[in-house]
C-alpha cells in the first residue's frame, strides 16, 4: 500500500492526529497510510494569536480537529461565529469563502476549511472586512 502523506518532524515538534498529540524526541519522518484528521504544530494557532475575527474562526475550526471529543459544543461556537462574520462582512469574495468554509466544516473536512481561512488572513490584514471589536460585540 502506498503512503498518502509524508511528514518530517523535528525533535520536539508535535503533530495532532485524530485527536491524539504525538511528539518526536528526534528528527523523524512519518507516513500516514490511510485517511486521518491531522494538523501539524506549525499550523496550530494559539489562543493569544486569535486576535482577528478570521483568526478566531480558525481557532474554533482547529479545535474541531484537535479535540473531536468536544466537537458537539465546538460546532455550535463555529456556527455562531460564522453567522456573525457573514452578517458583518461586506466583501462578496470573503463571504463566498466563508460559505465554502461552512460547507467544508459541515462535510467534516476541517483541514480544507483551515486552508481557506488561512488564505483569508492576508486579506483581512490588508483591508479588514470585519473589525475584531464588531465581531466580539456581536458574539
33 with 50, same domain: the answer is: no
Q: What was the pLDDT predicted at 136?
A: 52
What is the block-wise mean pLDDT of the chain (139 residues), using blocks of 10 residues? 75 89 91 84 91 95 91 96 93 95 95 94 68 50
DSSP per-residue string spanning 57-81: HHHHHHHHHH-GGGHHHHHHHHHHH
Distance from chain centroid for Cα 115: 7
69 with 132, same domain: the answer is: yes
9 with 70, same domain: the answer is: no
56 with 98, same domain: the answer is: yes
**Would you state the cell numbers that stand for residue 83, as one nine-digit string?**
453567522
Q: What was the pLDDT predicted at 2?
A: 52
53 with 38, same domain: the answer is: no
Q: What was the pLDDT predicted at 95?
A: 95
68 with 116, same domain: the answer is: yes
Q: What was the pLDDT predicted at 127?
A: 57
Number of domains in the chain: 2
52 with 37, same domain: the answer is: no
Global pTM value: 0.80
Q: Which domain holds residue 118?
A: 45-138
Amino acid at each position: 500500500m502506498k503512503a498518502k502523506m509524508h511528514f518530517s518532524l523535528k525533535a520536539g515538534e508535535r503533530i495532532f492526529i485524530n485527536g491524539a498529540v504525538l511528539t518526536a524526541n528526534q528528527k523523524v519522518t512519518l507516513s500516514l497510510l490511510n485517511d486521518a484528521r491531522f494538523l501539524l504544530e506549525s499550523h496550530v494557532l494559539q489562543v493569544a494569536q486569535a486576535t482577528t475575527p478570521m483568526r478566531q474562526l480558525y481557532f474554533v475550526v482547529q479545535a474541531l480537529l484537535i479535540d473531536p471529543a468536544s466537537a458537539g459544543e465546538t460546532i455550535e461556537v463555529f456556527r455562531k461565529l460564522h453567522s456573525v462574520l457573514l452578517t458583518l462582512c461586506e466583501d462578496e469574495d470573503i463571504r463566498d469563502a466563508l460559505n465554502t468554509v461552512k460547507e467544508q466544516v459541515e462535510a467534516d473536512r476541517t483541514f480544507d476549511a483551515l486552508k481557506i481561512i488561512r488564505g483569508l488572513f492576508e486579506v483581512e490584514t490588508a483591508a479588514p472586512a470585519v473589525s475584531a471589536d464588531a465581531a466580539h460585540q456581536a458574539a
